[in-house]
Amino acid sequence: MPCYITRTASYLPGPAVENDEIERFIGSLDGEAATKAKILSMNGIVRRHYAQNHFQQKTHDVYGLGSRAAQQCLSEHKETDPVTYLAAGTTYTPLAAPGFASILHHRLQADGYLNYPVEISSHAGICSSAANAMVAAIRSITAGHHRTALCVGAEHASEILKSSVIQPIDDRSQHENLRNSRWFMSIFLRFMLSDGAGAFLLQDCPDSERLSLRVNWTHSMSFAHEAPLCMKLEGRTALLSQDLSVLSTYLVPLAGKFLDIALETHHDSLDSYSIILPHMSSYFFRRKMERVIAFHSSDRENPVPYWTNLATAGNTGSASIYVMLDQFLRQHELLDGDRILLFIPESGQFNFVLVSLTVVMP
């Protein structure tokens, strides 16, 4: 069965927060002021959103963020084709169990949506958890098990990064180069990650009145068998950390290997795409992403173009690919037959997702 994305939605909580306003929402930590400017110049983000008020009290939880995005998708959906499959992914939930999709289902019914039984699928991880939720929802339709599905990605990173909660390991005195310390990485992540959610409505036929995106193929693959742990979220402390040396060593070669396998498997090439939407955690890794794209383009001097909203939407983790596609569709004029490639690398222990799409006009 074919599968189409017929609705996209995104939700970024509260006002856009400029760089000089960050501390008003997530507080400040001792010593980080000296590194703030450097970190912000590295990540390239100028605006982001937090589900926090000025007293570090949450305005939404991750379930609420996901629900707001999902409701936007469902508000115009015809009830004659009810959603029967709900897949959702995130990095952090305040409850370890039940799964994200279960509580999201409950929140949606409380607001008048999905007030009936559905099949659910919850996905955990780092940057690719929600992308894998998308893949699961797509495959539920292509396999013929469901006609209409909803996939959701949401992140509430500020809840574990705000100064009233985070307790970074202070190993500054053990490193001549501060950037090698675990303390620096905690600060780096504080200034890099923010909150948001997105949702896609998937159906087995295109919308007769508006643009749809046909799913050509999906590819998801882990390389954890040949790479060490890079990014992790501690279960007891909710401390998020990343090893930049591991990331620098493994990201480019494994991303390239993944692209080789995926494109060969699906008899495809990057040159057939109008645009690539890659998830990038920060502009610090932009050149690495550009090298990967250029290497797989037939003309390396003029590679396939890519688009990102990282600077103005912030890094919303696993939700970012949802927010990115939604904003891209709203900001660009597309033609029937245009091809879009979603590329989601995850540095947790290096797994990757590709979703190939084609524009279908009514």
Model confidence pLDDT, tens digit, residues 306-320: 999 999 999 999 999
pLDDT of residue 247: 86
pLDDT confidence tier of residue 11, bands split at 50, 70 and 90: very high
Q: Could you read off the pLDDT of 133-184 as tens digits, one per residue?
A: 999 999 999 999 999 999 999 999 999 999 999 998 888 888 888 788 888 8
Predicted TM-score (pTM) of the model is 0.96
- Are 186 and 242 a contacting pair, CB within 8 Å? no
Q: Can you give the residue ranges of every domain in the chain?
A: 3-203, 212-360
Q: Is the pLDDT of residue 328 over 80?
A: yes
Alpha helices in 94-217 (DSSP H): 100-110, 129-142, 158-161, 182-192
Q: Do domains 3-203 and 212-360 have the same CATH topology?
A: yes
Query: Does residue 76 or residue 19 have the better pLDDT?
Result: 19
For the chain, the average pLDDT equals 94
DSSP string, 221-266: EE-TTSS---EEE-TTT--EEE-HHHHHHHHHHHHHHHHHHHHHHT
Min mean pLDDT across 16-30, 66-80, 260-274 is at 66-80
- CATH fold of 212-360: Peroxisomal Thiolase; Chain A, domain 1 (3.40.47)
In the chain, the percentage of residues whose pLDDT exceeds 70 is 100
User: Does residue 359 have a pLDDT over 90?
Assistant: yes
For the 3-203 domain, the top CATH level (class) is alpha beta
